[in-house]
Structure 1
Amino acid sequence: MDFGLTEEQRMVQEMARDFAEKEIGPYVEEDEENHYYRREILSKMGKLGLLGWSIPEEYGGNGMGWMEAVTALYEIAKVHTSWRLSISGNVWGPAMTINEWGTKEQKQTYIPRLVSGDSVGSFAMTEANTGSDVASMKTLAEDKGDHWLINGSKMWISGGHTCDIGLLYAVTEKGAGAKGISCFIIDYNKTPGVTRIPILKKVGMWPAPTSELVFENAMIPKENLLGPLNKGFQICMWMLNNTRMGCATGSAALSAACLEGSVQYANERTQFGKQIGKYQMIQQQIAEMKLEDEAAKYLVYRAAWLKENKLPSQQATSMAKLYGSIAAVHAANIAMKIYGSYGYSTEYPCGRWLRDAKQFETLEGTSNIHMQIISKIELGYQPNR
């Protein structure tokens, strides 16, 4: 496999890097301090085509695929990892899933709004007592003839209180476990009975909105069922195999940010009359970061290449997501050491890197879950889809 970038991919890389440095970079510290989400950045992404990956051009897609997508997201997440959620929340979550499972009318209605950035997207499956065990969810969707009646709650939903359009996973057949879950498209601006509560007490990812959703006799039109009835678990797993690429790419990019920052600091900081980068222990730490950073990046490229070529990619995606988490957390820890006392100061980004790195071990499948996926596929206990 040759992961060298084509001329077109290099242009995408440069455009995304330029966008991140000019539109996101100047506000990173301000938005961190104020826990502020700049919706206008999403709209600007849409106008540049940065939300149209792997979406047909007839629905507003940019005509490019997975390799271009991860290349662009990598540059954005390297500047501020919180913004990688917008691409997953709009494109690799709702837009791609509606494109795969939706009716023509659903595609025409929702996908263009998501890829243009005119609407903010989300997907809701996690509940207070339902994380890795998706099939144990309790939120109930009852068939009332001309509509679905939704009751229950969702927790830790990225973009839950800022989004316009979302995918909602709910039980449609009690007691059936994974075979009794369905997926729905929900327009939050037109759905009474939904209370959206911001979750403000988080360790990191402060400018990325996170929410609790409470459904109390919320009514969804019958035509908003996405895909076949009771096939929501299958749809959810298909979706996660795409959105996990956002986690994998974001973690690899955060690892790279830690490495770049540490190299710069090691060449600027002097102790005992010379740059600290001249000392063997610092060199060892930089070498460790470089090895893990390159491995994480190429695992992302490999998974993207498999997806691009429509080959089984579940194991590769889990490998990229798992190892990216390891690399990001380790790199953030080492960066904190290299920066010394200044690493513990909010004057430098080390604290943000460390806070943001830890979420990759949990989001969209814990590290333990990805260990299971990788090993079960390798042992032949489950197919590599």
Structure 2
Amino acid sequence: MDFQLNESQKELVALADRLGREEFAAKAARWDENHEYPHENVEVLRKAGLLGMTIPKAFGGPERPLIDVVLVIEQIAKYCGVTARIVVETNMGALGAIMAYGTPEQQKEVARRVLEDGDKPAIGMTEPNAGTDLVALTTTARETDDGYIINGVKHWITGGGISKTNLIFARIIDRDGQDHGIGGVLVDLGTPGFAIGHVESAMGLRGIPEAELIFTDCKVPLTNLVLRDAKEGFKKLMNGYNAQRVGASAVALGLAQGAHELAVDYMNTREATGQKLKDFQGLAWIAAEGDMRLDAARLLIYRAACNAVHLPNNVMLPEMREASIAKAFVGHESFECVSDSLQMFGAAGYSASLPLERMLRDVRMFQIGGGTTQAQLNMIARSIFPRR
């Protein structure tokens, strides 16, 4: 087992860190305050080759392993959680599912959109009454002679209204009315019958909209079907979400690492009662615990990424248990690390003049979005006590 990065990975980390410091850090507050999508950052990422890193070479991508993407996400999140989350969405999630299970035509077009246009594919899963319990979703895609008619409502969809490519989870109903279970259908932004509804005013990560998607007799061609498999379709689509969870965990880790580094720098210079903060044993122990949290989190994320299984087209997606362990642990420990780091600054940390209060709001999402901590614990428990 090798814990050392190769030269290519070191260069990737250095590139991501430089872009974070020089291009993204100073603007991070702007996206948060204005609830504004960072289009200019997307273009910087695209020119740097950090979008579509996982896209297979057959479709114009560099076909990098997931661990390389995780390294980039972690570095960028130290400076801007929103931009790091865009790196997740343009390398994992819906993109991974399409690259693994879509048709060659779908794969070619979606790859082009990501690599050339900077499109961030959205994954439409959650519904008002089907969040953690996704098998209860009611959105339908009914087959006709020349397409699928989609009806239903999705909400809390990351990138809704921004993403041209939308992979919508729906119950696939054939022409005879038979339910084939949950499958995936591609719906482009602007398709008649597809509307953007309410956009949430979220606590953090405000630069990416969390929107309601409304489908009213929305018709798409038959060729837009990604997967229809009554036995394995839903499971296969969720494999793509395992990568999303690993990517989300890397954002949380990067936010925590960035906050921790700010706190350590402050402790090295700030004095109180005649000594530096780093010389107070109680505070030094808090910093030491932060280091332990970060190292443990990093190892769990890297393990899940490195152990990703090879699927069609050499797409690599993590195993469910390892992805869930990483997300449950990292979400909690990263929040604690950011909170402790903010505490080091006292009242200044609570002020918007420093990035720590924003980082605390941002990192809190990762105990909820992409599957709550409790949902991850349920999945881990099922791996320990499998159902017959």
TM-score by length of 1: 0.93
**Does 2:101 align with 1:130?**
no
The one-letter code sitting in structure 2 at the alignment partner of 1:121 is P
Q: 1:351 to 1:313 in 2, by over 3 A?
A: same
What does 1:114-263 correspond to in 2, within 5 Å? 114-173=114-173, 180-189=181-190, 191-197=191-197, 199-230=199-230, 232-263=233-264
Provide the rounded CA distance (Å) in 2 between the counterparts of 1:181 and 1:75.
36
Provide the rounded CA distance (Å) in 2 between the counterparts of 1:332 and 1:379.
34
Question: Aligned residue for 2:27?
Answer: 27
How far 1:380 sits from its partner (Å)? 4.2
How far 1:352 sits from its partner (Å)? 0.9
Q: 1:11 to 1:193 in 2, by over 3 A?
A: same
TM-score by length of 2: 0.92
How far 1:19 sits from its partner (Å)? 1.6
Q: 1:312 to 1:40 in 2, by over 3 A?
A: closer
How far 1:178 sits from its partner (Å)? 9.9
Query: Which of structures 1 and 2 has the larger relative contact order (alpha carbons within 8 angstroms, sep 6+)?
Result: 2
Contact 2:173 2:179 in 1 (8 A): no
Deviations 1:144-197 (A, max 9, x none): 2211111111000000111111100112249x99961110111113x1111113
Q: 1:66 to 1:106 in 2, by over 3 A?
A: same
Question: Aligned residue for 1:54?
Answer: 54
What does 1:74-113 correspond to in 2, within 5 Å? 74-113=74-113
Q: Secondary structure of the equivalent of 2:211?
A: strand
How far 1:7 sits from its partner (Å)? 0.6
How far 1:87 sits from its partner (Å)? 2.5
The CA RMSD measured in Å over matched residues stands at 2.2
% identical equivalent positions: 28
**Does 2:356 align with 1:379?**
no
How far 1:116 sits from its partner (Å)? 3.4
Contact 1:85 1:158 in 2 (8 A): no
Provide the rounded CA distance (Å) in 1 between the counterparts of 2:124 and 2:233.
12
How far 1:350 sits from its partner (Å)? 1.9
Deviations 1:330-367 (A, max 9, x none): 01221222111111111112211211111101111110
Question: Aligned residue for 1:339?
Answer: 345
Question: Aligned residue for 1:269?
Answer: 270
Contact 1:126 1:154 in 2 (8 A): yes
**Does 2:307 align with 1:303?**
no
Contact 1:66 1:308 in 2 (8 A): no
Q: Identify the range of structure 1 (2-11 vs 225-234) with the bigger mean alpha-carbon deviation.
A: 225-234
Q: 1:177 to 1:322 in 2, by over 3 A?
A: farther
The one-letter code sitting in structure 2 at the alignment partner of 1:272 is T
**Does 2:289 align with 1:288?**
yes
How far 1:312 sits from its partner (Å)? 6.8
Deviations 1:300-333 (A, max 9, x none): 1111110177697321111111111011110122
How far 1:76 sits from its partner (Å)? 1.1
Deviations 1:21-53 (A, max 9, x none): 222112112222212112232233122221222
Q: 1:156 to 1:178 in 2, by over 3 A?
A: farther
Q: 1:312 to 1:56 in 2, by over 3 A?
A: closer
Q: Identify the range of structure 1 (279-288 vs 230-239) with the bigger mean alpha-carbon deviation.
A: 230-239
The one-letter code sitting in structure 2 at the alignment partner of 1:313 is E
Question: Aligned residue for 1:37?
Answer: 37
Q: Identify the range of structure 1 (205-214 vs 109-118) with the bigger mean alpha-carbon deviation.
A: 109-118
How far 1:120 sits from its partner (Å)? 2.8
How far 1:129 sits from its partner (Å)? 1.3
Q: Secondary structure of the equivalent of 2:91?
A: helix
Q: 1:116 to 1:244 in 2, by over 3 A?
A: farther
How far 1:126 sits from its partner (Å)? 0.3
Question: Aligned residue for 2:15?
Answer: 15
Contact 2:81 2:255 in 1 (8 A): yes
Unmatched runs of 5 consecutive residues or more in structure 1: none
How far 1:106 sits from its partner (Å)? 1.4
Contact 2:239 2:317 in 1 (8 A): no
Q: 1:222 to 1:119 in 2, by over 3 A?
A: same
Q: Secondary structure of the equivalent of 1:213?
A: strand
Contact 2:242 2:317 in 1 (8 A): no
Q: 2:354 aligns with which of 348, 353, 358?
A: 348
Contact 2:183 2:237 in 1 (8 A): no
Deviations 1:62-94 (A, max 9, x none): 232112111111111121112232123222123
Contact 1:169 1:183 in 2 (8 A): yes
Aligned length: 380
